[in-house]
């Protein structure tokens, strides 16, 4: 090999080395960029552990929500304090409560209350609105609702009117129905 050929060979090798150095520099830069990321291979045990923790947190949140938030058909009601009043209101003689509530336990009586929610009515008007109920059955339903204090009858004109407890009972029944139906669905 001549001297000029040696020089050409050295020059080519120097260029290769320069090229390799450049590539090495690029690789180093890429490596530094990747250094911020952490890749963890989650095996089953870690996944189960995380799921257990998350489940615990959700249970805690649900419990707190049940205590302080009522989600009803018309929206969300938030209690600032624990609803102690509700606990106080449910006190009472279970026999008497059951007696009054039993007045709601019939679809015809619910229909009667719904009609009276729209305004006072005579028996004839109720009969017209509720043709599926026979006159004698309608009369006994009205007596039962009146005995429970959910409706009252005018003595002079004979109209039936829904009372405040009657309105509350009807609304309560409708709300419970909506809430239960929502959960079942």
Partner 1 sequence: MRSGFELGNTVYKFVEDVTLLETDKCIVKVFKDSLVLPLTFGNVQGYFIHGKGRLVVDTIIETRKGAFGKPTDKELKEPFIAIGDVGEIKEKTAEAEPSSLTVLGYGDVKALREKAEEICREVLRKTTFRRDFEKEGKRVFYFLTEGDSYDVLVSKENGKLVYVSKGKVFVFSDKKSLFTGFGEIVVSKGDKTVIVANGNVFVEKGAT
Q: Which residues bind partner 1 (CB under 8 A)?
A: 120, 152-157, 161-168
Nearest to 162 by CA among 102, 121, 105: 121
Nearest to 112 by CA among 128, 99, 96: 128
Closest separation in Å from C-beta 170 to partner 1:
10
Comparison of 46 and 83: residue with beta carbon closer to partner 1: 83
Comparison of 45 and 118: residue with beta carbon closer to partner 1: 118
Closest separation in Å from C-beta 159 to partner 1:
9
Helix (H) or strand (E) holding 153: strand 151-153
Comparison of 114 and 167: residue with beta carbon closer to partner 1: 167
Comparison of 26 and 117: residue with beta carbon closer to partner 1: 117
Q: How far is CA 27 from the centre of its chain?
A: 54
- How far is the C-alpha of 129 from the C-alpha of 112, rounded, in Å? 9
Closest separation in Å from C-beta 113 to partner 1:
11
Comparison of 32 and 89: residue with beta carbon closer to partner 1: 89
DSSP state of 177: H
Comparison of 127 and 163: residue with beta carbon closer to partner 1: 163
CA neighbours closer than 13 Å in the CB half-sphere of residue 151: 34
Closest separation in Å from C-beta 165 to partner 1:
7
Closest separation in Å from C-beta 177 to partner 1:
20
Contact assessment for residue 175 and residue 183, using Cβ atoms and an 8 Å cutoff: no
Quickly list DSSP for 62-115: HHHHHHHEEEETTEEEE-SS--HHHHHHT-S-HHHHHHHHHTTSSHHHHHHHHH
Closest separation in Å from C-beta 56 to partner 1:
41
């Amino acid at each position: 090999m001549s001297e000029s050929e040696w020089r050409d060979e050295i020059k080519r090798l120097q260029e290769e080395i320069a090229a390799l150095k450049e590539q090495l520099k690029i690789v180093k830069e890429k490596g530094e960029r990747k250094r911020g990321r952490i890749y963890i291979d989650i095996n089953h045990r870690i996944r189960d552990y995380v799921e257990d923790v998350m489940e615990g947190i959700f249970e805690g949140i649900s419990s707190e929500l049940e205590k302080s938030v009522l989600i009803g058909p018309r929206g969300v009601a938030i209690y600032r304090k624990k609803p102690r009043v509700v606990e106080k209101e449910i006190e009472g003689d279970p026999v008497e409560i059951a007696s009054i509530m039993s007045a709601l336990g019939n679809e015809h009586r619910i229909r009667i209350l719904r009609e009276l929610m729209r305004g006072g009515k005579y028996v004839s008007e109720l009969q017209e609105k509720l043709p599926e109920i026979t006159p004698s059955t309608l009369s006994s339903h009205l007596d039962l609702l009146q005995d429970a204090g959910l409706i009252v009858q005018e003595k002079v004109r004979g109209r039936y009117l829904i009372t405040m407890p009657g309105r509350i009972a009807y609304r309560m029944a409708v709300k419970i129905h909506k809430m239960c139906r929502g959960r079942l669905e």
